Amino acid sequence: MTDPLNHSYYAATAHERQLRSDIGDERCDVAVIGGGFTGLSAALACAERGFSVILIELKTVGFGASGRNGGQLIPGLRWTASELEEEFGSERANALFNLCWRENRVKARIAKHGIACDLKAGHLEAAWTPKDFDAMRREADYLAARFGYESDVVAKTDMDAHIATPLYHGGVHDPQGGHFHPLNYAIGLAKAAERAGVRIREDERVWLIDSSSADPVELMTEWSIISARYVIDATDSWIGDVEPDLGRYTVPIMNYNIATAPLANADALLPGDAAVADSRFVLNYFRLSADKRLIFGGGERYSQTPPRDIAAFVRPFMAEVFPEIADAKIDYGWGGAVAVTMNRLPHIGRRGNVFYAHGFSGHGALVTTLAGELIAEAMAGTAERFDVLANLPSKPFPGGKWLRQPLATLGLLYYAMKDKLG
């Protein structure tokens, strides 16, 4: 049976790839669990540094959030740079800014490996309320004055240069942001990793990490035992299956996307061809595909059960933004789990010889590639930049295994309600 959550435009337009399965015990320097952006980037960067690397993926590369997301490349983290500075002081804010805003490692990887993934420049944050617009404008001014980071503040009256809807109260256009075909990026990274010597084993589940003897760490997979000097756990919303203790730091929130049939008026809807995300707590985000479909994400569900009809679930959000295509044909509808932390900052770190990075909280398309590379850098002995992210604070969700999700859901419902009330 086909997976109803994976009826995606991306899967239908994915570059050719071969399932790579191997069975048997093996030894290597680095074993990576998970073939999303984080794991693939870490594996590639480790191989480039001369480590022997095996990557084990439950299904196929890009099967998780990395192959299903909105494809929006948004510089930074879920916190604004001014919030980071207020909380952590100027030195740490500088370091975070240099990594998370300045370093566009996705663009660098695409250029280096010639990855064909429909990369486009430009991201627009659209203000849902006048108050949101004021905050955005202040932040843009702060970024320009403090870091020389240039973006364009777009008044409500000028929004039609970017988007054909009167719904928003202005916005900020960031030319350093952009959008891409995330699954083809993941496949491109996997091919680059293989060329660099990484052995990818797909369709294989890791059950357990045994780090009782520090070196080697042993991974029990469903077929074999992999012994490695270092392990990288890049399983994101599945992390609790492999390491229950780390699973306490995130909850999975289901999020859904649709892709319309190619639209004759696509360029009129989004004349600037930027990716757009609005400022609602349960946000709408959308962009055009290379073949002029509208790819639209909207509406979260706090239940893990997908809606019976994903297209019907997302369509009203799209219709509110673009009433003229309310009845457009929808060719694809899919969904995935966004791993969200308590404070919406990623949870990155190291326990002995096991590294981990997860919980990018819906803001991972850009920073996961960086995180993977910083893990490789730390493993090779230079942990300074890795520590900038690893030192971000994090707390487990309260409530233990059974109450964690319901309690987090209550909190999220509260904010979603505030959104509705304005």
Smallest distance, Å, CB 369 to ligand FAD? Answer: 9
Smallest distance, Å, CB 264 to ligand FAD? Answer: 25
Quick one: which of 11, 42, 53, 69 contacts ligand FAD (CB under 6 A)?
69
Region 145-184 residues binding ligand FAD, contact defined as CB under 6 A: none
Token couple for 265: 């008026």
Q: Measured in whole angstroms, how far is the alpha carbon of residue 318 from the centre of its chain?
A: 21
Asked if 358 and 236 touch (Cβ cutoff 8 Å), the reply is: yes
Q: Smaller CB distance to ligand FAD: residue 84 or 340?
A: 340
HSE, side-chain direction, 13 A CA sphere, residue 67:
28
Smallest distance, Å, CB 7 to ligand FAD? Answer: 13
Smallest distance, Å, CB 204 to ligand FAD? Answer: 7
Q: Smaller CB distance to ligand FAD: residue 151 or 368?
A: 368
Q: What is the largest CA-CA distance in the chain?
A: 63
Quick one: which of 8, 250, 257, 369 contacts ligand FAD (CB under 6 A)?
257
Smallest distance, Å, CB 305 to ligand FAD? Answer: 16
What span, in angstroms and rounded, lies between the C-alpha atoms of 283 and 72?
A: 13
Q: Smaller CB distance to ligand FAD: residue 143 or 253?
A: 253
What span, in angstroms and rounded, lies between the C-alpha atoms of 348 and 356?
A: 6
Asked if 341 and 347 touch (Cβ cutoff 8 Å), the reply is: yes
- Return the SS3 of 126: strand
Token couple for 373: 């590379």
What span, in angstroms and rounded, lies between the C-alpha atoms of 389 and 406?
A: 28
From first CA to last CA, the distance across the chain in angstroms is 42
Q: Smaller CB distance to ligand FAD: residue 146 or 409?
A: 409
Rounded to 10°, the helix 367-379/37-48 angle is 40
Q: Using DSSP, how many helices (H) and how many strands (E) does the chain show?
A: 13, 18
Give the binding-site size for ligand FAD (rule: CB under 6 A).
46
Region 281-320 residues binding ligand FAD, contact defined as CB under 6 A: 285, 297
Token couple for 271: 């004349």
Region 317-336 residues binding ligand FAD, contact defined as CB under 6 A: 335-336
Smallest distance, Å, CB 415 to ligand FAD? Answer: 18
Q: Smaller CB distance to ligand FAD: residue 37 or 296?
A: 37
250 binds ligand FAD (CB under 6 A): no
Region 191-220 residues binding ligand FAD, contact defined as CB under 6 A: 205-206
- Binding part of the chain for ligand FAD, among 59-67, 163-171, 208-216, 312-320 by CB under 6 A, reads 59-67
Asked if 207 and 64 touch (Cβ cutoff 8 Å), the reply is: no
Smallest distance, Å, CB 157 to ligand FAD? Answer: 28
For every residue of 357-422, DSSP letters joined together read EE--TT--TTHHHHHHHHHHHHHTT--HHHHHHHTS---PPSSHHHHHHHHHHHHHHHHHHHHHH-
Rounded to whole angstroms, what are the CA distances from 197 to 30, 111, 218, 229?
12, 20, 21, 17
Region 75-134 residues binding ligand FAD, contact defined as CB under 6 A: none
Neighbouring residues of 76: CB distance < 8 A, sequence distance ≥ 6: 100, 101, 363
Neighbouring residues of 89: CB distance < 8 A, sequence distance ≥ 6: none
What single-letter amino acid sits at 127? A
Rounded to 5 degrees, φ, ψ at 333 are -145, 130
Q: Smaller CB distance to ligand FAD: residue 39 or 188?
A: 39
Q: Smaller CB distance to ligand FAD: residue 146 or 241?
A: 241
What binding mask, one character per residue, do residues 230-249 give for ligand FAD by CB under 6 A, x or -? ----xxxxx--xx-------
Quick one: which of 36, 178, 188, 298 contacts ligand FAD (CB under 6 A)?
36
Neighbouring residues of 242: CB distance < 8 A, sequence distance ≥ 6: 33, 206, 207, 208, 209, 233, 235
What span, in angstroms and rounded, lies between the C-alpha atoms of 148 and 108?
A: 21
Smallest distance, Å, CB 123 to ligand FAD? Answer: 10
Q: Smaller CB distance to ligand FAD: residue 169 or 287?
A: 287
What binding mask, one character per residue, do residues 340-379 give for ligand FAD by CB under 6 A, x or -? ------------------x-x-xxxxx-x-----------
- Binding part of the chain for ligand FAD, among 28-36, 123-131, 145-153, 411-419 by CB under 6 A, reads 28-36
Quick one: which of 8, 43, 51, 68 contacts ligand FAD (CB under 6 A)?
68
Provide the binding-site residues for ligand FAD, judged by CB under 6 A: 33-39, 56-59, 63-66, 68-72, 74, 205-206, 234-238, 241-242, 255, 257, 285, 297, 335-338, 358, 360, 362-366, 368
